[in-house]
Copies of this chain bind each other. A is one copy, B any other.
Amino acid sequence: MQQTGPTMRDVAQLAGVALKTVSRVVNCEGGVSSRTREKVDRVVSEIGYTRNEMASNLRAGRSSSMIGLIIEDLANPFYSAVARGVEQVLGTRKLRLITASSEEDEERERELVTDLQQRRVGGLIIVPAAPDHRFIGLEIDKGLQVVFLDRPATGVDSDTVLLDNRGGSAAATEYLLARGHRRIAVIGHNAKVWTMQERLAGFASAIEESGGRVDESLIRLGPVTPADAAAATKELLEMDAPPTAFFACNNRMTVGVLTELRRQCVYHDIAGFDDIESAVLFQLPVALVAYDPVELGRTAARLLLERLSGRRTKEQLVINTRLVTYSGAKGASRRRSARSLGQPPQLGSTAEVPAS
Contacts and interface: CB of A to CB of B under 8 A. Distances in A.
Interface of A: 1-5, 48, 50-55, 57-58, 61-64, 66, 73-77, 79-81, 83-85, 87, 94, 96-101, 114-120, 122, 138, 142-143, 255, 258-259, 262-263, 265, 276, 278, 280-284, 294, 308, 330-333
Given A5-B143, A87-B99, A99-B87, A58 B58 contact: yes
A79 to B, nearest CB: 8
Contact of A83 (B48, B58, B99): B99
Nearest to A280: B259
A294 B75 contact: yes
Instruction: Classify the secondary structure of A's interface with B.
Output: mixed
A283 B280 contact: no
A50 B258 contact: no
Contacts of A51: 118
B54 A265 contact: no
A122 B3 contact: yes
Contacts of A74: 80, 83-84, 87
A177 to B, nearest CB: 25
A118 B262 contact: no
Contacts of A99: 83, 87, 97-99
A126 to B, nearest CB: 15
Contacts of A122: 1, 3
